[in-house]
Amino acid sequence: METEILNEFKSHSVFRLKEGLRMVVQAMEFIDENRLWQLPTENGMSLENQILHSCGNMRQYIISSLGNQMDLRKRDLEFKTRSKLKKNELITRLEETINASILIINKTSEKEYLKIRKVQAFSYSGVGVVLHAVEHFSYHVGQIAFWVKFLTQKDLGFYKGIDLTKNN
């Protein structure tokens, strides 16, 4: 039974990461390069910083902690960087981070999912690590969607052609 539940958890975690990636890529289609670094407020995060921060969080929580790899994250830089990466470079970085995270989520053993580990100032099981990273990414996907909608005044069409009022 535990393995079935863990497999369900892994499956839905992977789905949410892929769904978030799909939405970010779709939202970015509406943005030109110059708007990637525009700030919503003086102390807000640009679209570039949202993506860099999401990648940093996933690398720290999933790739480093759950994947038992060295943590090289420099969190403060994710908020300060104005690297002027091109849109396709940012998307590639996000795709690579999500793909690496998915690989670790899928290959990690039940024993590792139950093991308690320290990440930042917190102690989480492997399940808690993945839940945090997926939830954190989803939070930033929402911020990215909001900021792109605000900048472009367009419907991003995430569920275009799908009737969300019906139950199958």
In CATH, which of 1.10.8.50, 1.20.120.450, 1.20.1330.10, 3.90.800.10 is domain 2-152? 1.20.120.450
What is the per-residue pLDDT for 79? 60
Q: Hey, CA dihedral for 149, 102, 77, 92, is it positive or negative?
A: negative
Which of 61-75, 97-111, 126-140, 148-162 has the least mean pLDDT? 61-75
Q: pLDDT by residue (tens digit) across 99-111? A: 999 999 999 999 9
Closest by alpha carbon to 156, among 164, 144, 167, 140?
A: 144
Mean pLDDT for 114-136 is 95
Give CA–CA dist 119/124, Å, rounded.
7
What digits encode the pLDDT tens for the residues 45-77? 889 989 999 999 999 999 999 998 777 767 666
Virtual torsion, Cα 57, 58, 60, 64, nearest 10 deg:
180
Which residues face 117 on adjacent strands?
Answer: 124
- Answer whether residue 140 shows pLDDT above 80: yes
Decide: 16 and 53 in contact? Cβ < 8 Å. no
Burial class (CB in 10 A: 0-12, 13-18, 19+), 88: exposed
- What pTM was estimated for this model as a whole? 0.90
Degrees to nearest 5, angle at CA 120 with 119 and 126:
15
Report residue 33's pLDDT band, with 50, 70 and 90 as the boundaries. confident
